[in-house]
Amino acid sequence: MSEPETDAEGTDEAVSSPTPGSNIAGASGPESGPLIEEPIIQSKDISVFYGDEQALQEITMDIPEKQVTALIGPSGCGKSTFLRCVNRMNDLITSARVEGELYFGGKNVYDDDVDPVALRRKIGMVFQQPNPFPKSIRDNVAYGLDIQEFDGDVDARVEEALKGAALWDEVKDQLDESGLELSGGQQQRLCIARAIAPDPEVVLMDEPASALDPVATSQIEDLIADISEEYTVIIVTHNMQQAARISDKTGVFLTGGELVEFDDTQKIFENPDHQRVEDYITGKFG
């Protein structure tokens, strides 16, 4: 797919759904899906193939704004693949091919006039392994601002992002020291600060706490709850208790790249519609 020079800044123009009626209960999403009046992300029949292998099967899901949506399911069921569809990171995998539509603020991110780099400014990402750059703490956070040639007060934005990532108090006197000197949990919060510094609308998190100890994990979970007041968070996690603790909505993917159920987290964990989901949640398989 071509990547023309125009960017995705215009996504805000088309705030209404491109498919009127998609928010009518039962008209979109898995049959048990919740009614979401103002989804920020709408996935419509998204399928992904790696070469001839299909990794995702026609995923349809409306993701609400400024809430936490957790994606859970056994290894290899396509959770990370779906996450990478949202900000077109799959574009970077040569064998990957995406079919279907994925709307962000009403704009299909796979339209030819969307610039993936500009899209990723609006949809930041945090990975499993903390991956700060071998740069100072300040420069790590300012990285995205430099790329977008931000002409405001960089130091103020760095401070704001570090506060937003609950790291400021721990690092405010060492902003010129390397980000690599921090503990694993601090490094992950630094990566979250880096992700939110350009003021995105959505933050994607791919198992952000799985490499951390319980204390650092708990700090990240608290942080996710805080940042979801300002940003939409979509998190892939293997930890079902974590999904139950921190998310508002949960999507359950199962083997073969199928989204079996998507609903309010409480419903998924207490009274899922599908036996396969109940079996997975209760540990009978997966």
Ligand X SMILES: Nc1ncnc2c1ncn2[C@@H]1O[C@H](COP(=O)(O)OP(=O)(O)OP(=O)(O)O)[C@@H](O)[C@H]1O
Least distance to ligand X from the beta carbon of 142, Å? Answer: 30
Instruction: Name residues contacting ligand X, limited to 72-111 (CB under 6 A).
Output: 73, 75-81, 93, 95
Q: Is 127 in the site for ligand X (CB under 6 A)?
A: no
Size, binding site for ligand X by CB under 6 A: 13
Give φ, ψ of 232 to 5 degrees: -85, 130
Minimum CB distance to ligand X, residue 78 (Å)? 4
> Which residues make Cβ contacts (< 8 Å) with residue 79, sequence separation at least 6?
71, 72, 73, 236, 253
Compute and round to an integer the Cα radius of gyration of the chain: 19
Could you tell me the smallest distance in angstroms from the CB atom of residue 40 to ligand X? Answer: 22
Query: Alpha-carbon distance 166 to 163, whole Å?
Result: 5
Closest separation in Å from C-beta 238 to ligand X: 6
- Closest CB 79 distance from ligand X, rounded Å: 4
Question: Among 8, 55, 119, 277, which residue sits at the site for ligand X (rule: CB under 6 A)?
Answer: 55
Nearer to ligand X, 166 or 253 (CB): 253
Site string for ligand X, 135-174 (x = CB under 6 A): ----------------------------------------
Sheet of strand 107-108, all strands in order from the earlier edge strand to the far edge? 53-64, 39-50, 96-104, 107-108
Site string for ligand X, 9-48 (x = CB under 6 A): ----------------------------------------
CB-based contact 48:85 (threshold 8 Å): yes
For residue 164, give Cα distances in angstroms to 9, 193, 203, 226, 230: 23, 7, 13, 8, 10
CA nearest to 86, candidates 32, 38, 48, 142 = 48
In whole angstroms, how close is the CB of 260 to ligand X at the nearest point? 13
The three-class DSSP label of residue 49 is: strand
Q: Which of residues 237-256 bind ligand X (CB under 6 A)?
A: 238
Q: Where do contacts with ligand X occur on this chain (CB under 6 A)?
A: 50, 55, 73, 75-81, 93, 95, 238
